Amino acid sequence: AAMGEVGLGGEVRPVSNLEPRLKELAKMGFTTCLLPSKSVEGLDGKAFKPLKIKAVATIKEALAEAGIKIPNPREEKPREEQRETVPF
């Protein structure tokens, strides 16, 4: 599960009323929840066991935690242009 608001710059913004939401996630059987770093500050993780809380600051971090690899367009090799040939 994941909670947060994504800003235009890719930052993950904090959410409110976390405790009831996290308790419900734990009841539903979720094992992991990605949360905005600022929302995790001061949060008692023991209250939501066995739910594992992972703090993320950006959408890039959230995707990495979820095991999703983001391709880097600068690392991709340029495709060779294929031109149609015409016999003479």
**Domain span including residue 50:** 5-65
The reply to whether 79 falls in a domain is no
The reply to whether 76 falls in a domain is no
Summarize the confidence of residues 11-15 as an average pLDDT: 94
Q: List beta partners, residue 1.
A: none
The reply to whether 23 falls in a domain is yes
Cα dihedral value 79, 80, 84, 88, nearest 10? 180
Residue type, 53: I
Total domains in the fold of the chain: 1
pTM over 0.85: no
Tell me how far apart the alpha carbons of residues 56 and 38 are, in angstroms, rounded to a whole number: 9
For 21-76, write each residue's pLDDT tens digit.
Answer: 999 999 999 999 999 999 988 777 677 778 899 999 999 999 999 999 887 777 66
